[in-house]
Amino acid sequence: MPAFDFRGPRLFIDAPLAQDTRVELDRDQSNYLGNVLRLAAGAEVLAFNGRDGEWQAAIEGRKRPDVLVILQQTRPQDRLPDLAYVFAPLKHARLDYMVQKAIEMGAATLQPVLTRFTQASRVNTERMRANVVEAAEQCGILSIAAVAEPVPLERYLSQRPAGRLLIFCDEAAEVQSPVQSLQDASKAGQGVDVLIGPEGGFAEEERALLLRQPNILRLAMGPRIMRADTAAVAALALVQAVLGDWGG
């Protein structure tokens, strides 16, 4: 038996969810249910808000879906691992892809940082949040990751808690087993930050600044140079397998 119901549509609802409550749908949600999915009154969907778990809900409305009636809870709320994905923003579709994959990998926070060689001059955080919600809807995820506003790399490093483990994926690091490196690292129970640089790599002064940080792990990602979005998936998979919640 599958752990989750992936056959029914899931809808993120930014409102409190409890049995017998009625939630009004906005125009986009009504259009999605009625015109895209062709669902009418009486059809059921799964609703979640990132706080109250997942609920079975029935559609109401005469001409189009207007309201969801919350019926019963299907899953209690869970918690994401204390894992932050810190990254130099990419452009357009590649940023969309990277955000979606980070959510699928279980990141709880997305933090864009601006570096010397960052190619994207503007970061649309509202679009990022929309991608977070869409990935959660499609992949059975209950918790909604936080999207932070972009900050310069130097400011991010000056503000981050020193007790958190900073995993710095560095293409200039000596190649050795990333699994062994992660196993040897001390998580200290205060969370993990995974940092992926821009397509042009880190500037030497940025690398020097990073290596002066406390509680840092300089991680080599093998003998090949990866694109930033590929490196993100590879690094998050390694971290989740060794330090995260993939081990149960």
Q: Domain residues for 60?
A: 10-75
Total residues found in the chain within this entry:
248
CATH code where residue 42 lies: 2.40.240.20
Q: pLDDT band for position 2 (50/70/90)? A: very low
Give the CATH number of the domain where residue 122 resides.
3.40.1280.10
Q: Once rounded to an integer, what is the mean pLDDT over residues 110-130?
A: 91
Q: Which of these three, 75, 91, 108, is where a domain ends? A: 75
Q: Which amino acid is at 229?
A: D
Looking at the structure of the chain, the number of domains it has is: 2
- Say if 233 falls within a structural domain: yes
> Is the pLDDT assigned to residue 5 strictly greater than 70?
no
| Cα–Cα distance for residue pair 152/51, rounded to 1 Å | 31
In a domain? residue 131: yes
Cα-trace Rg, the chain: 20
Asked whether 216 and 194 are in contact (CB, 8 A), the reply is no
pLDDT tens by residue, 141-191: 999 999 999 999 999 999 999 889 999 988 877 878 888 888 888 655 689
How confident is the model over 38-81, as pLDDT tens digits? 999 999 999 999 999 999 999 998 888 999 999 999 999 999 99
Query: Do residues 190 and 161 share a domain?
Result: yes
With helix as H, strand as E and coil as C, how does 107-171 read?
A: CCEEEEEECCCCCCCCCCHHHHHHHHHHHHHHCCCCCCCEECCCEEHHHHHHHCCCCCEEEEECC
Q: Is there a single domain that holds both residue 156 and residue 195? A: yes
This prediction has a pTM of 0.90
Q: Judge whether 73 and 31 are in contact, CB under 8 Å.
A: no
* pLDDT at residue 223, as a whole number: 84
Q: Decide if 248 is inside a domain.
A: no
Report if residue 5 sits inside a domain: no
Contact predicate 3/142, CB 8 Å: no
Band (8; pLDDT cuts 50, 70, 90): confident
Residues 54 and 22 in one domain: yes
37 and 150 part of one domain: no
The dihedral through the CA atoms of 232, 238, 242, 248 has a sign that is: positive
pLDDT single digits (tens) 221-240? 888 888 889 999 999 999 99
d(CA 117, CA 114): 8
